[in-house]
Protein backbone atom coordinates (compact mmCIF):
# COMPACT_ATOMS: atom_id res chain seq x y z
CA UNK A 1 0.00 0.00 0.00
CA UNK A 2 1.24 3.42 -0.94
CA UNK A 3 1.06 6.04 1.75
CA UNK A 4 -0.78 9.28 1.36
CA UNK A 5 1.58 12.22 0.92
CA UNK A 6 -0.50 14.41 3.11
CA UNK A 7 0.97 15.02 6.54
CA UNK A 8 -1.18 13.81 9.36
CA UNK A 9 -3.62 12.05 7.06
CA UNK A 10 -2.79 8.65 8.43
CA UNK A 11 -3.37 9.72 11.97
CA UNK A 12 -6.55 11.59 11.15
CA UNK A 13 -8.30 8.89 9.23
CA UNK A 14 -6.78 5.53 8.51
CA UNK A 15 -8.90 4.92 5.47
CA UNK A 16 -7.19 7.60 3.44
CA UNK A 17 -3.99 5.59 3.57
CA UNK A 18 -2.79 4.40 0.21
CA UNK A 19 -5.35 6.39 -1.69
CA UNK A 20 -2.80 8.84 -3.07
CA UNK A 21 -5.32 11.46 -2.21
CA UNK A 22 -3.87 14.80 -1.28
CA UNK A 23 -5.54 16.24 1.78
CA UNK A 24 -6.14 19.90 1.50
CA UNK A 25 -6.20 22.15 4.50
CA UNK A 26 -9.96 22.25 4.12
CA UNK A 27 -10.33 18.54 4.53
CA UNK A 28 -8.05 18.45 7.52
CA UNK A 29 -9.96 21.23 9.19
CA UNK A 30 -13.35 19.60 8.53
CA UNK A 31 -12.22 16.30 9.96
CA UNK A 32 -10.63 17.97 12.96
CA UNK A 33 -13.82 19.90 13.69
CA UNK A 34 -15.92 16.76 13.43
CA UNK A 35 -13.53 14.81 15.60
CA UNK A 36 -13.71 17.37 18.34
CA UNK A 37 -17.46 17.58 18.66
CA UNK A 38 -20.14 15.38 20.12
CA UNK A 39 -22.78 17.26 18.19
CA UNK A 40 -24.16 16.92 14.69
CA UNK A 41 -23.04 20.09 12.99
CA UNK A 42 -24.39 21.84 9.91
CA UNK A 43 -22.05 23.03 7.15
CA UNK A 44 -22.30 26.59 8.48
CA UNK A 45 -21.36 25.50 11.97
CA UNK A 46 -18.46 23.45 10.63
CA UNK A 47 -17.39 26.47 8.62
CA UNK A 48 -17.23 28.81 11.60
CA UNK A 49 -15.28 26.26 13.65
CA UNK A 50 -12.95 25.42 10.75
CA UNK A 51 -12.09 29.10 10.35
CA UNK A 52 -10.68 29.13 13.84
CA UNK A 53 -8.29 26.36 12.79
CA UNK A 54 -7.58 27.84 9.38
CA UNK A 55 -8.83 31.38 8.58
CA UNK A 56 -8.19 30.92 4.85
CA UNK A 57 -10.93 28.36 4.43
CA UNK A 58 -13.99 29.42 2.48
CA UNK A 59 -17.54 28.18 2.77
CA UNK A 60 -17.44 26.66 -0.72
CA UNK A 61 -14.46 24.55 0.27
CA UNK A 62 -16.36 23.33 3.29
CA UNK A 63 -19.37 22.38 1.18
CA UNK A 64 -17.24 20.61 -1.41
CA UNK A 65 -15.22 18.83 1.22
CA UNK A 66 -18.32 17.62 3.04
CA UNK A 67 -19.81 16.40 -0.21
CA UNK A 68 -16.66 14.51 -1.08
CA UNK A 69 -16.25 12.99 2.37
CA UNK A 70 -19.90 11.92 2.34
CA UNK A 71 -19.43 10.25 -1.01
CA UNK A 72 -16.41 8.43 0.30
CA UNK A 73 -18.36 7.25 3.28
CA UNK A 74 -16.04 9.02 5.72
CA UNK A 75 -18.78 11.34 6.85
CA UNK A 76 -22.46 10.69 7.36
CA UNK A 77 -24.82 13.34 6.18
CA UNK A 78 -27.96 13.41 8.26
CA UNK A 79 -31.26 14.94 7.35
CA UNK A 80 -32.48 16.83 10.37
CA UNK A 81 -35.74 17.95 8.83
CA UNK A 82 -34.86 21.62 8.45
CA UNK A 83 -33.18 21.21 5.05
CA UNK A 84 -29.77 21.87 6.57
CA UNK A 85 -27.81 18.64 6.56
CA UNK A 86 -25.95 17.71 9.72
CA UNK A 87 -22.64 15.96 9.56
CA UNK A 88 -20.93 13.34 11.64
CA UNK A 89 -17.79 11.27 11.16
CA UNK A 90 -18.56 7.72 10.13
CA UNK A 91 -15.88 6.51 12.50
CA UNK A 92 -16.54 8.88 15.32
CA UNK A 93 -15.41 7.96 18.81
CA UNK A 94 -19.08 7.52 19.61
CA UNK A 95 -19.24 4.18 17.88
CA UNK A 96 -22.26 2.79 16.09
CA UNK A 97 -25.48 4.48 17.10
CA UNK A 98 -28.90 5.39 15.82
CA UNK A 99 -30.64 8.75 15.81
CA UNK A 100 -33.80 10.30 17.14
CA UNK A 101 -34.46 13.52 15.25
CA UNK A 102 -36.77 16.17 16.68
CA UNK A 103 -38.59 17.90 13.86
CA UNK A 104 -39.36 20.95 16.03
CA UNK A 105 -35.98 21.92 17.48
CA UNK A 106 -33.99 19.77 15.00
CA UNK A 107 -32.06 18.26 17.85
CA UNK A 108 -30.45 14.94 16.98
CA UNK A 109 -30.23 12.49 19.84
CA UNK A 110 -27.72 9.64 19.64
CA UNK A 111 -28.54 6.35 21.22
CA UNK A 112 -26.66 3.10 21.37
CA UNK A 113 -28.54 1.38 24.15
CA UNK A 114 -30.47 -0.58 21.56
CA UNK A 115 -33.58 -2.46 22.42
CA UNK A 116 -32.96 -6.21 22.05
CA UNK A 117 -35.70 -6.53 19.46
CA UNK A 118 -34.14 -3.73 17.46
CA UNK A 119 -30.87 -5.56 17.03
CA UNK A 120 -32.59 -8.85 16.25
CA UNK A 121 -34.90 -7.22 13.72
CA UNK A 122 -32.07 -5.39 11.99
CA UNK A 123 -29.99 -8.52 11.65
CA UNK A 124 -32.96 -10.32 10.21
CA UNK A 125 -33.72 -7.46 7.83
CA UNK A 126 -30.15 -7.27 6.60
CA UNK A 127 -30.04 -10.98 6.02
CA UNK A 128 -33.28 -11.03 4.06
CA UNK A 129 -32.56 -7.88 2.10
CA UNK A 130 -29.12 -9.01 1.05
CA UNK A 131 -30.62 -12.27 -0.13
CA UNK A 132 -33.56 -10.69 -1.92
CA UNK A 133 -31.48 -8.10 -3.76
CA UNK A 134 -28.24 -10.06 -3.83
CA UNK A 135 -26.71 -7.08 -2.11
CA UNK A 136 -23.82 -7.22 0.35
CA UNK A 137 -24.88 -4.90 3.16
CA UNK A 138 -21.98 -3.26 4.96
CA UNK A 139 -23.85 -0.98 7.34
CA UNK A 140 -26.92 1.08 7.99
CA UNK A 141 -27.99 4.51 9.08
CA UNK A 142 -31.12 4.66 11.18
CA UNK A 143 -33.07 7.76 12.06
CA UNK A 144 -36.44 8.16 13.68
CA UNK A 145 -38.27 11.44 13.30
CA UNK A 146 -40.58 12.90 15.87
CA UNK A 147 -40.87 15.36 18.72
CA UNK A 148 -38.43 15.33 21.64
CA UNK A 149 -39.32 15.51 25.33
CA UNK A 150 -38.49 19.23 25.50
CA UNK A 151 -40.73 20.16 22.57
CA UNK A 152 -43.68 17.95 23.39
ZN1 LIG B 1 -27.53 0.03 13.97
ZN1 LIG C 1 -37.15 19.13 20.22
ZN1 LIG D 1 -24.98 10.71 15.80
Final residue in a domain of this structure, among 76, 92, 108: 92
Q: Answer yes or no: is 115 within a domain.
A: yes
> Could you give the residue ranges of the DSSP H alpha helices within 13-58?
25-35, 43-53
Whether residues 88 and 112 fall in one domain: no
Q: Each residue's pLDDT tens digit in the chain (152 positions)?
A: 344 444 444 445 555 443 434 457 888 899 999 999 999 999 999 999 999 988 888 899 999 999 999 999 899 999 887 888 999 999 888 889 999 999 999 889 999 999 989 999 999 999 999 999 999 998 898 999 999 999 99
Whether residues 49 and 103 fall in one domain: no
Strand ranges in the chain using DSSP code E only, listed in sequence order? 41-42, 75-79, 85-89, 98-102, 108-111, 143-146
- Taking the centre of ligand 3 as the mean of its atom positions, its distance from the CA of residue 10, in whole angstroms, is 23
pTM assigned to the model = 0.75
State the ligand closest to the CA atom of 149. 2
Whether residues 79 and 110 fall in one domain: no
Handedness of CA 7, 46, 78, 118 (dihedral sign): positive
Amino acid sequence: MKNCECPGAEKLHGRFRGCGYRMTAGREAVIKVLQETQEHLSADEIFSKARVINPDIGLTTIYRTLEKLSMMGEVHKLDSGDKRGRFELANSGKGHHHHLVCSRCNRIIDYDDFIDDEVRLLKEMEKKLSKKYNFAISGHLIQFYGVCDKCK
